[in-house]
Structure 1
Amino acid sequence: MLIGVVSDTHMPHKAKALPKALIEGLTGTELIIHAGDWTSPDVIAMLERFAPVESVAGNNDGTDIVRRFGRKRIVEAGGKRIGIVHGDGYGRSTPDNAFQAFAGQHVDAIVFGHSHVPYKDVRDGILMFNPGSPTDKRIQQKYSFGLLRVGARIEAKHIYFARKD
């Protein structure tokens, strides 16, 4: 199973349309996971053109997005349990916030966002994955999103691109 992973789109403030590289990368995916900070529910329909969307709301999302997705969830995809959370909070790093959100729950991977910093690590046997942002790279050199290939195990990779047009 091929899953597109996106976070922190911050549209329409940071982009009026999905970047071409993201469109190309999501083509052929069977599911899209968005880790929050949509900022506009209009973006949901943009992504649903490619595949069904599972998501959570981020700290910059309004009540309409919070009501639709909630702030934390676990989805089953390809026989694996994937936790999704934005990762915001105080007193810990973003990866630590994300990891703590699923303490005591069985997940095979945790997808999170918030920092706009691409991240991939394995912690206590759990894949930790932040795709970065396809529209707001902040201090990163490139924009990014991710792909998860789910089979007997979960493989994750970042896709980087220089322009968001």
Structure 2
Amino acid sequence: MKIVVLSDTHMPKKGRTLPGKLLRELDSADYIIHAGDWQTIELYNELGKYAEVKGVTGNVDSPELKAKLNSKEILVVNDFRIGIVHGHGSGKTTERRAQDAFKDERVDWIVYGHSHIPVLKELAGTILFNPGSPTDKRRQKEFSFGIMTVTDVVRAEHIFYSDRT
């Protein structure tokens, strides 16, 4: 099972179209996870043409998205529990807020966004995965998104690129 993982697309403000590298991966996706800051519901609808979308709202999302999506979700795939949250708020780091969102629930992975900083690491038995942003790299060297492959284990990787075409 292939899951394409996104966050912080900020469309159409940071791009009118999705990057070609991302579009090629979406063609073979079984699921798409979006960890918030889509900006408008049009992107949700566009992603739904490729695969089932599981997403949450971020701090800049439209009222239409906030009416459709929750601020936190858990996706269960092959008995793995993947927590999804944007990670915005006050106090603590983005990573800490993402962890705290699931402190009373069992999750194997936490997918989060907000910082636009790609992260893949394990803390206290839970894997933390921030895909970065495919359209707004901010202070990062490259744009990025993630791919999770789920079999009897879950593997994740970042896809980095410098050209959004």
TM-score, scaled relative to structure 1: 0.97
Query: Residue by residue, what CA displacement relative to the aligned partner does 1:51-108 show, whole Å, maximum 9, x if unpaired?
Result: 1100000000022111211101111123211100000111111111100100021111
CA distance in 1, matches of 2:97, 2:48: 28
Read off the aligned partner of 2:76 and give its amino acid letter.
E
More displaced 10-residue stretch of structure 1: 2-11 or 74-83: 74-83
Partner SS, residue 100 of structure 2 = helix
Residue 82 of structure 2 corresponds to residue 82 of structure 1: yes
1:19 corresponds to: 19
Shift of 1:49: 1.8
Read off the aligned partner of 1:131 and give its amino acid letter.
P
Partner SS, residue 45 of structure 2 = helix
Partner SS, residue 103 of structure 1 = coil
CA distance in 2, matches of 1:16, 1:79: 36
Partner SS, residue 116 of structure 1 = coil
Read off the aligned partner of 2:153 and give its amino acid letter.
R
Shift of 1:151: 1.8
CA distance in 2, matches of 1:152, 1:126: 16
Shift of 1:135: 0.3
1:154 corresponds to: 154
Read off the aligned partner of 1:82 and give its amino acid letter.
I
Extract unaligned runs of 5+ from structure 1.
none
- RMSD (CA atoms): 0.9
Read off the aligned partner of 2:56 and give its amino acid letter.
V
CA distance in 2, matches of 1:2, 1:78: 12
Partner SS, residue 120 of structure 2 = strand
2:48 corresponds to: 48
1:116 corresponds to: 116
Give the fraction of aligned pairs with identical amino acids, expressed as a percent. 43
CA distance in 1, matches of 2:67, 2:125: 31
1:142 corresponds to: 142
TM-score, scaled relative to structure 2: 0.97
Query: Residue by residue, what CA displacement relative to the aligned partner does 1:30-55 show, whole Å, maximum 9, x if unpaired?
Result: 00000000001000122112111000
1:31-42 equivalent positions in 2, closer than 5 A: 31-42=31-42
2:87 and 2:98 in contact (8 A); partners too: yes
Partner SS, residue 149 of structure 1 = strand
CA distance in 1, matches of 2:129, 2:156: 8
CA distance in 1, matches of 2:45, 2:160: 23
1:3 corresponds to: 3
